[in-house]
Structure 1
Amino acid sequence: MNPLVFQGADASRPATALSVNLNKVALLRNQRNLTIPGVVRAAELVLDAGAHGITVHPRPDERHIRASDVRELSVFLQGRPGVEYNIEGNPFHNLMDLLRELAAAGAPCDQATFVPDAVGQSTSDHGWDLAADGARLAPLIAECHALGVRVSLFMDPDPDAMAAARALGADRVELYTEAFARSHLGHRGEGEAHAALVSRYAASAEAALHAGLGVNAGHDLNRDNLADFIAAVPGVQEVSIGHALIADALELGLAQAVHGYLRCIAAGLAAKARA
């Protein structure tokens, strides 16, 4: 299913696609000199369960997703028309070489999410500073377009930065949602401080849409907070979820975990429609 497919009679409201990040599957596999759990097999299971896309974030040290995983998933996904393949990473490190390789093989990914993480960073923890990095990002965004790849920029919820992201040539932004997740946990989805933060995310999405950008979201979204985020933030086309979904799968199984997240998305969209 393509993330741009609309649901229901209201064609102005896009559906929200679920892209499953498989980094933690690869991390577990890499603890032993074995091939289990298999990253491609995990992709097959989550897609069979109804996920719309696959996300990987191959870091230079290959501590979880390896370059070989990126290649093997690319081959596998050629047999899954309509599935979105999203590769995240820092374009100043190893990401661009992988994108060039896939494109040269005639199988470019659908989306590259540019993330400003450091080489040794444990996980992504901030969005791009476009004033500092925009001049270096613009030619790489243009190169991705030449390779047939859509570009999403990992961004903090800053409404004022969205027009600048579009001016660089980005197609989408991925709103970094850790602050939302932490606030939702601390305030149980209530309180003035939480409401103000949610308003900032909503305003950022609105600014992105106004600038002509698509809106993605990810980081620490889970079954407790996802529906509330979808309900409150306009136009979210895709959520990328890995850590929480894989953790839930330890209890529920991969298929049931995916079903749970799809129900959260549906609940959020339904609440938005009622508002």
Structure 2
Amino acid sequence: MSHQALALVLVAALCHALWNIAAKYVDGDRFVFVWLYEALSTVLWLPVGVVLLLRTDRPWSWALLIASVGSAVLHIAYNLLLQTGYDRAPLGVVYPVARGTGPLLSMLVAIALLGERPGWHPALGGLAVVIGVAVVATRGFGRAGTLSRPGLTYGLATGATIAAYTLWDGHAVDELALLPLPYFALTVLWQTVLMTPEVVRRRQRVAATVRGSWRPAAVTAVLSPVAYVLVLEAMRTTPVSLVAPARESSIIVGSLLAWWLFKEPGPVRRLTGCVVVIAGITLIAWG
């Protein structure tokens, strides 16, 4: 991985951890919250995406339409699973499990279906990721040790959607040569459109959610697109099997902030698990 790609991914990881911390502070309906920050993202980024798109030789294509709609569906699933997980389990469990399993699944599918051959290191790295996730998802060891079932369940489900949209979007910007920012701008537009009918049905909760959660929604609307566009830019020159693991360095920041801000228990154990996951991610990236 080039230094430029690594820098893009690390900045993206920091932005990603920060917006996830902001998303934990939701007061109101979490479905409406997701729609709110997607709508704000659309207002912020769609004009920029359209301007960049109009400067290209081929501003419109069926590939752009189909790819962005598919990405929107996958991101809606991701966002709703993540928000439900944050509502029912500690961030310090859901976030590391999701971000740890996502790149592992991305790597395996990239190898199996996309023909990528990153080397022998991913096998050892993948094992480390699994062990680290197991440490993060348990509440201690011995007789007192129990499994955080909601955190593990929603973390794994979210990780599966991460793998799905990472591979889908990687194919869009690499093989289809779609520009990252216009592609992302259309994706958030479709997310807003697809979620609007359900928000209309929940319209009595909209005002309360906006009043209680407009600040975290605004933070998410800015940082989430920045984080992902940087990742898409990195994937234009670097294989998905390398970018996907490297971006998950955000789990260290996320776990530390979860302990500091939310006073979640077991900081030493969770940080240990995160370090093991990062070690696995490093091995995968070296592959």
- TM-score, normalization: structure 2? 0.28
Which one has the bigger helix percentage?
A: 2
Which one has the bigger strand percentage?
A: 1
- TM-score, normalization: structure 1? 0.29
Rg comparison, structure with higher value:
2
